[in-house]
Amino acid sequence: MTKTAEAVTAQRAGIPLAAALGGIAAVVVAVIVGVAFGAASLPPGSVAIELLNLLPGVHWNSGLSEREVAIILELRLPRVVLALLVGGMLGLAGGAYQGVFRNPLADPHLLGVAAGAGLAVTALIALRDTGTGTSGLPAGTPLAAFVGAVGAVALTYLLGGVGGRDRSPATLILAGVAVSAFLAAAQTYLLQRNIDNVREVYTWLLGRLATAGWHDVLVLLPYAALSAVAILLHRRELDVLAVGDEEAAGLGLHPQRSRYILLGAASLGTAAAVSVSGLIGFVGVIVPHTVRLLAGYSYRAILPLSMLYGAAFLVVADLLGRTVGSPAEIPIGVITAFFGAPFFAVVLRTTSRMSV
């Protein structure tokens, strides 16, 4: 079978039922466990009933007190939903990046998203008025991170086209590396000049999902929805892009246009996610690669499943961060790095063996 025929076959391939049901079950279990356990544990069965009571027409007695219900609805559920959105977005964006760049090690931070967001937040914290005596993260942190991340992607795109280049995947990767290095250097300079604010900066850089209600969820939701719809509508095109631009064009696809749409949507969603959660790494590498082992290599299956499993993975990672070192909280970026670093090494070794 030729590569072109394989691409057409991949387009027709559906989502394996077992993998889909497993992803849905993982999300449901992660939500119940994430809401039930914390500083004060609640019965998972009662939590499940209380969550079902959120559905129209459902009114069952969960046996929980008003205080416990308030803990669920006002404290834990917003945090779990935020983890679902961030994890799902990072997993989906990671799968899209890997498809566009045809590289299983590509992740959502590849085009400078992390460096741009980090520099913007560092600048906001470092240059604020220290005479007010305030500490912690400024109120404008999410907006600054979003603007910085999107600005970095735009800069990478412009640099990738310097000298009449065609902005191929390899060119964009090199441009992203250059932009990330420059922005990271600027961030380091700001930190050295404002050493008193290092703690606040690293609080954000290590990732956090602490939220005082539904505000962060409502901020992220429209961007995540727009990005997810755009990526999922174009997921079949990634299977065609895998055979090469000439073959893809022969099948009626516009390769560059498809890449720009997918990269733009993935970068927008990632920028929105990191703006409310900080820099959480490795989700975009771990989840899509694991999904390939479960569902095969068609992006028609990889992308929606990466969104499901990414959402569940981050809820569980956040739960571990909240409970393992209780009463202290381990930054979620440390938890994902704990799993991601050895996983990254395994993927790299596997990829190297396949290329020999």
**CA-to-CA dists, residue 102 to 13, 26, 94, 145, 346, angstroms:** 19, 28, 11, 28, 18
Instruction: Classify residue 257 as exposed, middle or buried by CB count within 10 Å of its CB (0-12, 13-18, 19+).
Output: exposed
Please name each of the domains of the chain with its CATH number: 3-18+80-355 (1.10.3470.10)
Rounded average pLDDT over 46-75: 93
Question: What pLDDT score does 143 carry?
Answer: 86
Question: What pLDDT score does 3 carry?
Answer: 53
What average pLDDT does the structure give for the chain? 86
For 133-137, 181-185, 211-215, 333-337, which range has the lowest pLDDT when averaged over its residues? 133-137
Question: What pLDDT score does 133 carry?
Answer: 46
179 pLDDT exceeds 90?
Answer: yes
Rounded average pLDDT over 175-187: 92
What's the N-to-C CA distance of the chain in angstroms? 23
Question: What pLDDT score does 132 carry?
Answer: 47
Question: What pLDDT score does 326 carry?
Answer: 78
Rounded average pLDDT over 267-276: 90
34 pLDDT exceeds 50?
Answer: yes
Q: 212 pLDDT band (50/70/90 cuts)?
A: low
Question: What pLDDT score does 36 carry?
Answer: 95
Question: What pLDDT score does 356 carry?
Answer: 45
CA-CA distance, 62 to 64, in Å (whole number)?
Answer: 5
Rounded average pLDDT over 151-175: 82
25 pLDDT exceeds 50?
Answer: yes
Sign of CA dihedral 67, 68, 73, 77: positive
For 173-177, 205-209, 333-337, 350-354, which range has the lowest pLDDT when averaged over its residues? 350-354
pLDDT, tens digit, for every residue of 285-327?
899 989 998 898 899 999 999 999 999 999 999 999 999 887 8
